[in-house]
Amino acid sequence: MNFESMEIWNAMKETKYRRTLDELNKVIHNAHGNLNDAISAALDMTCTAIHAEAGTFWFYSRFGDGLIHPRAWYGGGNISQQYLHVGEGVAGKVVETGMPTIISDCQSDPRWAKKVDSATGFSTKSMICVPLKADNMVYGCIQLINKMDNSLFDEKDLSFAQRLADEISTQFVTLNLLSDGRVEPNIAVLFADIRGFTKLAETMSPAVVASLLNEYLVFVTGCIRQNGGIANKYIGDCVLAYWRPDEDCREPAYMACKAAMSMLEGAAEMRKRLKSRFDCEINFGVGIHYGEAYIGNIGTSVLTDHTVIGDTVNMASHLVSCAPAGKVLISHSVAHAVGKKAKTSHPSLPVRMKLKRNDFKFYYLNQLD
């Protein structure tokens, strides 16, 4: 195909893609809030527009079982009973990284999970997979498989699939995600906070403060992730993390305590590095509480925030505000859940008075088996 013919062909494809986007908007509008109808129609339209033989809308059940499930599928057989772990297969990798991908030969690609083809008898040859996002939080992906004419997907196909994914998120799914949360009964919540950070920051330039914070946050987040926790957000110099029970975390309270002790054990080396680089002393306290919390999305279609909410979070925040530098304060519910694995002691009277709740028992965590 010569250059002029290629230009005409690309212009025709662009016109078709724009028409499909317009039709998609109408479909989502006419769905009247029915997520499944909108997703199925959008997937059908996407596969038809790109001439894909099959396709799947994968949904990441972040607040449910933590697995990736098919929400809608087109061609290729019924895959309703299939699921992926985050990072498993191409779809799992796209959910994990948030990066779109195009694969010319799935059979030789190490990312491809063969189990879906094995279950359906379908043969996957080439593929496009694009993430579905709400304010940079990945909640699923669209996977398109095999061109009908046996040609390969190209970058224009990939770009169009990404535009459709963005349109779905913007027009409908972002709003739906606001209700995609749940109350969990056994959540461990941890806060870690630098002591005297405001005064320290007054003596440094904003750029230096940012560099110092980054190094501190890398250290604390590493301790959280190495012990199965989710670093939920950074609030200035404060880190909020949580643990919930699943197949990878049988004891949320214990794992939160392990993360806290890892922080204390590595604090000396971290302080040494920061002293050398920034000529300042960094100390932090930790607070942990265990109980019921809501895990889900809070916000609007403009800004959505995945977070944990409830009195468990509030009390963990109170605990960290009372924790002296180099100390971990845990609530009675944490101590009870961890049991004899934890060695604790009662805080002194001034620390206890700061919390201002006589019915709330808490302790220093001194050692963990």
The pLDDT value given to residue 30 = 65
- Which residues pair with residue 72 across a beta bridge? 57
Query: Is 44 a residue whose pLDDT tops 80?
Result: yes
Planar angle of CA 41, 45, 50, nearest 5 degrees: 155
Neighbouring C-beta atoms of residue 66, cutoff 10 Å = 15
Backbone angles phi, psi at 40, to 5 degrees: -60, -45
Contact 342, 335 (CB under 8 A): yes
Confidence category of residue 9, pLDDT binned at 50, 70, 90: very low
Query: Is 367 a residue whose pLDDT tops 90?
Result: yes
Q: Average the pLDDT over each of 48-62, 182-196, 326-340 and give the range with the smallest value.
A: 48-62
The pLDDT value given to residue 113 = 79
The pLDDT value given to residue 67 = 86
| Whole-structure pTM value | 0.65
Query: Is 161 a residue whose pLDDT tops 60?
Result: yes
Tokens of 79: 């895959």
The pLDDT value given to residue 288 = 97
Query: Is 348 a residue whose pLDDT tops 80?
Result: no
Query: Is 73 a residue whose pLDDT tops 70?
Result: yes
The pLDDT value given to residue 1 = 47
Q: What is the DSSP letter of 347?
A: P
How far is residue 87's CA from residue 324's CA, in Å, rounded to a whole number? 39
Higher pLDDT, residue 104 or 306:
104
Higher pLDDT, residue 27 or 269:
269
Q: Are strands 328-331 and 362-368 parallel, antiparallel or unpaired?
A: antiparallel
Confidence category of residue 354, pLDDT binned at 50, 70, 90: low
CA 261, 333, 232, 212 dihedral sign is negative
Neighbouring C-beta atoms of residue 120, cutoff 10 Å = 16
